[in-house]
Structure 1
């Protein structure tokens, strides 16, 4: 049964917004409850769905790193029966786009990773797939459109 939030619940949630890692004793002092009462309220708020998770906010000392993008052209041994390669590529979260091509290359992949080493690891994983004959990789220098 979901309950209506009272002012103490709202204060606890407000404090958790400021610091989701705050100890129950610290929260208790701020909202004038016992540590155990705060713990029970937080558990109820989680159960009732008022608190659905905790997250991390990056501080000022940490700069967000830009994603390194690359295009990988893939040659498969058998263009017509290469479904296992496509299935494996769908399971790779770094592969953001996969196009089946006519012409020289079989597949064109768009890959994003946190670093050049991350792109290299994805490239190694793709090159090691059964059914992949060869690859050509180019790093994206800039995007115009």
Structure 2
């Protein structure tokens, strides 16, 4: 189902990205729309796949996952079989919270959450045991200057 976003939809998305637990009454007040109209718009955006999920964002430190690693991967293999193996390894490793196939010099970039450097090493050993990788390097995040899941709605 196709759905074209208007300014009201974008306002709803902006609010929901900050707090998906907001009551329909409070959302309606903030958007200056009736409760039922807000609910209908949200339902339409869910059906269209614009709103993919409503989730809880968990503090990584509360789970003992204090280290973010940005993992840069180059491979010499680009055939479908290797990609299937790599994609399965990525899906099966919960430490990987983001995986991206890249243009340019790098082939893949992973965002990985682990407890510490030793946890990264355990992750690294498991990854290279699952799939052959030509070159892998990691940088560790020292400070999160900005880390958000919210997409810009006013573009």
User: What's the TM-score once normalised by structure 1's chain length?
Assistant: 0.51
Q: What is aligned with 1:99?
A: 100
Gap runs ≥5 in structure 2? 1-60, 147-155
Q: What is aligned with 1:75?
A: 74
Q: When you count helix as a share of all residues, which structure comes out higher?
A: 2
Q: What is aligned with 2:110?
A: 109
Gap runs ≥5 in structure 1? 1-62
User: Runs of 4+ in structure 1 displaced over 6 angstroms?
Assistant: none
Alpha-carbon distance between aligned partners in 2 of 1:113 and 1:69, rounded to the nearest angstrom? 7
Per-residue CA deviation, residues 23-48 of structure 1 (Å, 9 max, x unaligned), is xxxxxxxxxxxxxxxxxxxxxxxxxx
Alpha-carbon distance between aligned partners in 2 of 1:96 and 1:119, rounded to the nearest angstrom? 13
Q: 1:66 offset after TM fit, Å? A: 5.2
Higher RCO (C-alpha 8 Å, min separation 6):
2
Q: What is aligned with 1:136?
A: 137
| RMSD of Structure 2 on Structure 1 (CA) | 1.9
Q: 3-state SS of the aligned residue for 1:124? A: helix
Aligned residue pairs, count: 83
